[in-house]
Structure 1
Amino acid sequence: MCAGAVLGPGVLTLPSLAASAAGPASVLAWVVLLAMCVPVAAAFAALGARFPDGGGVATYVHRAMGPRAAAVVGWWFYGAVPIGVVSASWIGGKYVADAAGWGEAGATAVGGLVLAGALASNAVGLRMSGRVQLLLGGLLAAVLLCAVLAAAPHVTAAHFTPFMPGGWTSVGSAAAVLFFAFAGWEAASHLSGEFADPGRDLPRVTRYTLAVITVLYLGLAVATIGALGPAAADTDTPLTALLAQSVGVAARPVAAAAALFLTFGAVNSYLAGASRLGAALGRDGAAPRWLAKGGGPGEAPRRSLAVLGGTAVLLATAAGFGGADGAGLEPLMRATATCLAAVTLAGLAAALVLLPRRTPLWCGVLASSVLTAAVLAFSGWLLLIPTALALASFCFLTLRRFAGR
């Protein structure tokens, strides 16, 4: 489940977005982010072992910086989910439409059905079992591995030249969108309370997860550039293109089916977790109290879910969901990555306060904090999103305090 929290449907399209931003040099962005993952994952594992709790990053930030900072992190999570579920739904729609030849309108329809189905599922209180989620995570890992192996014989050195057509800044731009695929460690931190012995098991599971994503991500990065060449930047379905080099047209329905199941599972999980987060924020006074209704055990937090669903529909419309060239997907994924990078940076800041200082881990966390801040800087105007959410959180808490007087 920890591996599934890091792996997600974003990798079904991120290789092409990174290739579009930096060409062959996008491989460097993958390598840098993987290197950054080591101290990030180790820090969250250490914090989870010391403070096992389902609150994850918000718990660590609360301990290190107080309730106001923790509320901001909660708003960042809650605000990122509507953007992320629209992105994920759209990805699934693109793979199905590509297989069926339905075009962008078909991708819109399928993406809309995925989102509507996940909202309906959560509204009536249906939840996927841990075994089903595990199966979906395993399916994604298997699809990625098959795509890499299928493309390996077609990798050529010629596709890596010129290596850096856009200069060093293009690598930063690629890293900013790729953060979408590396931002699951804070989600995995919510599982820390589920371990019988977090101090023993969580670091071990973290090491295994790091090994899995390193193999899959590096293999995917090299295979996408090396096998597809310039065409890597021009496809919305890079995994289909990689598989097609070995199995031909049969790759389309296989990739489409996998993408559909994976995106529905991810969207369903995101909405389930975020709707309960919204209810918890309302319960704790960090958001309007009426959001708390339905947040108890066995209940469906429909008010929080309605906020998420309504926001997702508005975002999809504003982004041109299913537009003629599908150009709205990249900014959505970049916006999600920006919010999640902000959450990661807050968790790392908490680690710098809570973990023993001057140790190798603490120094690694400091270095990762600098790298995460640099990735955030490449988000440009999208930084306005976490800034606006933070201001909204502070304003709400301030008004609530004055109203309480």
Structure 2
Amino acid sequence: MPGLNRFATSLLRTKPVEQLAADGEHSALKRSLGLVSLIALSVGATLGTGIFVVLGEASPLAGPAVVVSFALAALAALFSALSYAELAGAVPVSGSAYSYTYATLGEIIAWICGWCLLLEYGVSVAAVAVGWGAYLNEFLAGTIGWRIPEALAAAPSAGGIINLPAAVVVLIATAVLLDGIKESARVTTFTTLLKICVLIFFVVVAVTAFNSDNLHPFAPAGIAGVTSAASMVFFSFIGFDAASTAGEEAKNPQRDLPRAIIISLVIVTVAYVLVALTAVAAVGVDNVSSSGASLATVLEQVTGSGWPATVLAAGAVIAIASVVLTVLYGQTRILVAMSRDGLMPKMLSRVGRKRIPTANTLIVGGVVAVLAALIPLGELVNATNIGTLVSFGLVNIGVLVLRRTKPDLPRTFRTLVPLVPLLGVGMCAWLLLRLPGVTWLAFGLWSAFGLVVYFGYGRRRSALERAANKAAVAPVA
């Protein structure tokens, strides 16, 4: 059955690494990001998401052992980060895991990976935006004694009508991205430094109330609680791969991308463990989980004064906004790569006068703003985690495949093969199995919709499909 064989072959066709590299070299995007900017991009996309937003949601699951949950999630992220670092140094293009998978596992797997990344980036931006609204309310209450009414600050299923602050911060980030990548990088670097200062301030204040009694019982729900919390706080490490989406805007991608990925993960892990430990030890798990703005609440209880909480809330308002900005950036660049390959409409890869994908940025910003306005935090976090874990697993497999198919490909960073990628796949699978059934159901529906889009649109318009058809009808010399 030649027709069936051709169909199956077309699903597993890979995009040559040389073609990916050529796409990156001839990109219309502007190369303006150095190592510091790339580190700021990754740290900015990661640091704050879990500590400012998810700590209060995860601590009831694990108790004080939520600190171990962060360490486990960091370990899972580390194996995948090392695989990302190898592929980012070898194939420095905008598509991140999507492009790496296209070069190693085939078009249909690349599509699934890209579809997961759209879920990861888009929904995580919405989740962070929801958390931003809680800190904005804390800041307003501490400065002018007024809070945004719940009807305008919560999703319909969370007791409100619309989460207006969440939608607004997404639209502000969209406007900053439209101003150009160099300007966006400056904003990201500034806000990342501010974020680190705010978290140092928190640790210095909270450690003055450190009480080891608050760490007992350490793991009231046992290993099951620790691993369930680890699955949730894995959300906190999403973003370390943001540098890999900037492969076509980095000045020296082969050298700087691997460094940025690994350095950013180390910075984020140290910050998360210190903040989680001091927060729980200072006031206990119940108090950490009692507020959407959990860290601000901790400082208020520790000091008995409102000003430290207000300072932290002010820093969080700016810092979390930077996460929205950097993750939104990452999603637009993945769409650029998918569009350039023909799997998404061409308008998503068209670059405007400031050498940014204008239509792409506007569409992504609008869709994410709607998600942030209408869906509550918990559902967004789990949906983000499952998309991320699937794409990370595929990146680890991609390293193994590329080592076998392209052993002589120049690599500026080499991880320990096959140990690290296999451990990465295993950790991703382990965390995936800890996610609730409703999350798997939502993911199944999202994946089914993605396959409908692929077979109805992407496959027939794929650049590789067009090239194959052209070759089939070309006259034989």
Match of 1:347 in 2: 395
Name structure 1 gaps, 5 residues minimum: 320-327
**Residues 1:160 and 2:215 are matched in the alignment:** yes
Instruction: Select which of 213, 224, 229 maps to 1:174.
Output: 229
Match of 1:47 in 2: 87
For normalisation by structure 1, the TM-score amounts to: 0.85
Kept in 1: contact 2:44–2:326 (CA 8 A) = no
User: CA, structure 1 residues 6+212, in 2 after alignment: closer, same or farther (shift >3 Å)?
Assistant: same
Kept in 1: contact 2:88–2:254 (CA 8 A) = yes
Instruction: Select which of 302, 312, 319 maps to 1:262.
Output: 319
CA distance in 2 between counterparts of 1:80 and 1:41 reads 16
Kept in 2: contact 1:49–1:192 (CA 8 A) = no
- Whichever structure has more helix as a proportion of its residues is 1
Instruction: Select which of 245, 250, 259 maps to 2:307.
Output: 250
1:131 counterpart letter in structure 2: R
User: CA, structure 1 residues 96+347, in 2 after alignment: closer, same or farther (shift >3 Å)?
Assistant: same
Kept in 2: contact 1:6–1:188 (CA 8 A) = no
**Residues 1:368 and 2:424 are matched in the alignment:** yes
Kept in 2: contact 1:5–1:188 (CA 8 A) = no
Instruction: Select which of 436, 451, 454 maps to 1:397.
Output: 454
Deviation at 1:346, TM superposition (A): 1.7
User: Once the two structures are superposed, what CA deviation does each residue of 1:315-361 show, in whole Å capped at 9, x if it has no partner?
Assistant: 34542xxxxxxxx212212222222222212212212322479x844
Instruction: Select which of 280, 287, 294 maps to 1:225.
Output: 280
Instruction: Select which of 254, 257, 262 maps to 1:198.
Output: 254
1:112 counterpart letter in structure 2: A
Instruction: Select which of 294, 306, 310 maps to 1:238.
Output: 294
User: CA, structure 1 residues 32+206, in 2 after alignment: closer, same or farther (shift >3 Å)?
Assistant: same
User: CA, structure 1 residues 64+126, in 2 after alignment: closer, same or farther (shift >3 Å)?
Assistant: closer
Match of 2:64 in 1: 24
User: CA, structure 1 residues 293+192, in 2 after alignment: closer, same or farther (shift >3 Å)?
Assistant: closer
Match of 2:102 in 1: 62
Kept in 2: contact 1:49–1:198 (CA 8 A) = yes
Match of 1:185 in 2: 240
CA distance in 1 between counterparts of 2:219 and 2:103 reads 43
CA distance in 1 between counterparts of 2:383 and 2:253 reads 36
CA distance in 2 between counterparts of 1:205 and 1:313 reads 29
- Alpha-carbon RMSD across the aligned residues, in angstroms, is 3.0
Structure 1 range deviating more: 221-230 or 122-131: 122-131
Name structure 2 gaps, 5 residues minimum: 1-37, 142-146, 154-162, 408-414, 470-477
Deviation at 1:303, TM superposition (A): 4.5
1:379 counterpart letter in structure 2: L
Q: Who wins on radius of gyration, i.e. which is larger?
A: 2
Kept in 2: contact 1:151–1:223 (CA 8 A) = yes
User: CA, structure 1 residues 351+298, in 2 after alignment: closer, same or farther (shift >3 Å)?
Assistant: same
Kept in 1: contact 2:245–2:333 (CA 8 A) = no
| Number of positions where the alignment pairs a residue of Structure 1 with one of Structure 2 | 395
CA distance in 2 between counterparts of 1:82 and 1:43 reads 23
Instruction: Select which of 316, 329, 336 maps to 2:384.
Output: 336
Structure 1 range deviating more: 188-197 or 28-37: 188-197
Query: Sequence identity, in percent?
Result: 25
User: Once the two structures are superposed, what CA deviation does each residue of 1:374-399 show, in whole Å capped at 9, x if it has no partner?
Assistant: 11122222133443343333333323
CA distance in 2 between counterparts of 1:268 and 1:208 reads 20
For normalisation by structure 2, the TM-score amounts to: 0.74
CA distance in 2 between counterparts of 1:220 and 1:213 reads 11
Kept in 2: contact 1:159–1:226 (CA 8 A) = yes
Deviation at 1:147, TM superposition (A): 1.0
Deviation at 1:121, TM superposition (A): 4.5
Q: Secondary structure at the match of 1:129?
A: helix
2:130 counterpart letter in structure 1: W
